[in-house]
Amino acid sequence: MSQPPSLRARPRSRFPLLRVVVTAVLLLGAATGGTAAAGAPPEGAPLFWVDPDTAAARQAAEWRAAGRLDDARLIDRIADRPQAVWFSDDGPGAVVRSRLAAAAMAGRTPVFVAYFIPGRDCGSYSSGGARDAAHYRQWIDDFASGLGTSPAYVIVEPDAVAHMVAGCPGAEAAERHELLAHAVQRLKSRPDTKVYLDAGNAGWITDEQRLVTPLRSAGIAEADGFALNVSNFRTDEESAKYGHRLADALGGGKHFVIDSSRNGNGPYEGTEGEAWCNPPGRALGTPPTADTGDPAIDAYLWIKRPGESDGTCRGGPKAGQWWPEYALGLAERAREGGAVAEPGVVAGTAPVAGTDPAPVAGTGGTVGQAGRQT
């Protein structure tokens, strides 16, 4: 599982001006030929915060210092993109508060993930979470207290609802749904927080009707919407179609967000190993943006941090730990012309006005293996 990284400053590039100039040229090329660049986000839409001290950022700096410039530039494709901050341990409030303050100073909106439900991950790679219901209520109240009045997106408990539908030994559905509803209510009590309750992915609970009653019990009515494909690999197109069907099944009107962090090549179709756990041949997907072209899709987000392991499968480290070789592969396979650094996002600086990252992959699941099934 991913642990909240520290806030110490990310080492800057040895050639920051050159890097920004090159980035701007690449974006101009993407906008004028080959891959079509996304336009500026709709008026009032957020620009998401780039954490300056991710494992990817530190890796890029280390390789740059060691002279591995080509590899460093590839990892920049991850480091220079907005990614979610996961909260999976006790005492989240102070860290939420500090991350929110850092994002506010940059004029950006952070994306947070609450991941502490009792019986988390049903005892699998990312097991853990709160001791009991009382512990969880205290935890989510602390989380909410850190949000304040600045804008934030919060993804609530990846896999928690879908696991109950699929079967989660030892977890009691009524209690889990009540805790999720409490989380949604507490998070939505903050004036500028958008809340998305996780709803699995298009390849897991394929009959979306099975999710309707559980999501309603878990507080979807008070949430801004639901999240799909967290830590998974389903394409944007498949996830969008599934999301529209689920929104209709819920009565219409609910929006959703899609995790596009690693879906550039879609899901793994091989027969060896579990398709959700560090599958080979995957690629970075559509960069985070609120300019989705679909009024029901609020954003494409990198909720899973690319390069963090799904678990100890296929030679990977523990769930949520940085795996540079896997990260490098994701970046190498991203479609040429799209996976370029966002202009001006060096150590958390503001973007060049009127620009937005170009898509990495044309089609369109952090912790550990959230979103793992199929």
Rounded Cα–Cα distance for residues 254 and 244 (Å): 9
For 32, other C-beta atoms within 10 Å of its C-beta total: 9
Phi–psi pair at 181, nearest 5 degrees? -60, -40
Rounded Cα–Cα distance for residues 189 and 149 (Å): 10
Rounded Cα–Cα distance for residues 252 and 292 (Å): 19
Q: Is 121 a catalytic residue?
A: yes
Which of the following is catalytic: 51, 76, 121, 259? 121
Judging by beta carbons within 10 Å of its beta carbon (0-12, 13-18, 19+), is residue 354 exposed, middle or buried?
exposed
Tokens 């920049």 — which residue?
76
Report, as residue numbers or ranges, the catalytic residues.
Answer: 121
